[in-house]
Amino acid sequence: MFSMKHTMLALAATLAMATATAQTVPADQQGRPAGAPDMFAVWKAAAAVDTLRTVDGKLPPLNAKGQALYNKRVKARAAGKPIDDGTVECLPHGLPRLMLSDYPFRLYQKPTFVAFAHELTHYFRVAYLNEKSKDVDDLDPTYTGYPVSVYEGDTLVVTSNGFNDETTMDRSGLPKSAALVLTERYRLINGGKQLELNFTVDDKTWYTKPWTARMVYDRNETNQLLNEYVCTDKNPEATRK
């Protein structure tokens, strides 16, 4: 369960995001910890990903039951009748799928937390700095889990657990369970013009071993506003073939 401190900080972060204007806020006024890399910006995927592959270009190491379920989902989507995809009904995308879309997100850095505000479904998450992950039995399962974060040199590391099992890893239908532990590692590349994300999936329910995938995001203007997003029963992002 979230503590009162977590609840109030999350509320404060949400209000700050909701009232953001086009006024540029210098990075040094964001309050990020000393020495932390400047990731305060709006970021957008250099290329959206529908089907995840590992960093070496392979299909993630599904076990037998995971492969059977994945094959079933791929076949259903190819027939134009996707199954087990809550986004068709405007439910949250979950992680890591939320990070694979070509909708932009804003990354905030504060002294005690980092926050992600997504244009896609206007989802947000707050990852508190230098806190330990809680035991999954003490957490209410959610679509994006319970994230904690830490800076390791030039890298922001976000670790999440406490997920529900109502989403898929990606649009193609890679399975995900409530046992998932997701570790995201963010690092600036190309002189700060891009943000690299290497994320590791540890889900023993569906996979034979942990695996890692990579995303790259382009830095947009710091003062860029996120557009309105409205999900409907004709949501093209969810239902296109």
116-146: pLDDT as tens digits:
999 999 999 999 999 999 999 899 999 999 9
Q: How many CB atoms lie within 10 A of CB 238?
A: 19
Give the pair of three-digit tokens for residue 213: 């995938």
Q: Are 133 and 139 in contact (CB under 8 A)?
A: no
Q: Is the pTM of this model over 0.95?
A: no
Residue 177: name the closest of 150, 205, 154, 149 by CA: 205
Token digits of residue 133? 């992950």
Q: Would you kindly state where each structural domain of the chain is located, as residue ranges? A: 4-239
Specify the length of the chain in residues: 241
Amino acid found at 78: A
What are the pLDDT digits (tens) for 58-106?
999 999 999 999 999 999 999 989 999 999 888 999 999 999 999 999 9
Beta-strand ranges (E) seen in the chain are: 41-45, 105-109, 113-118, 124-129, 146-152, 155-161, 181-189, 194-202, 211-220
**Domain 4-239 has what CATH class?**
mainly beta
236 SS3 class: helix
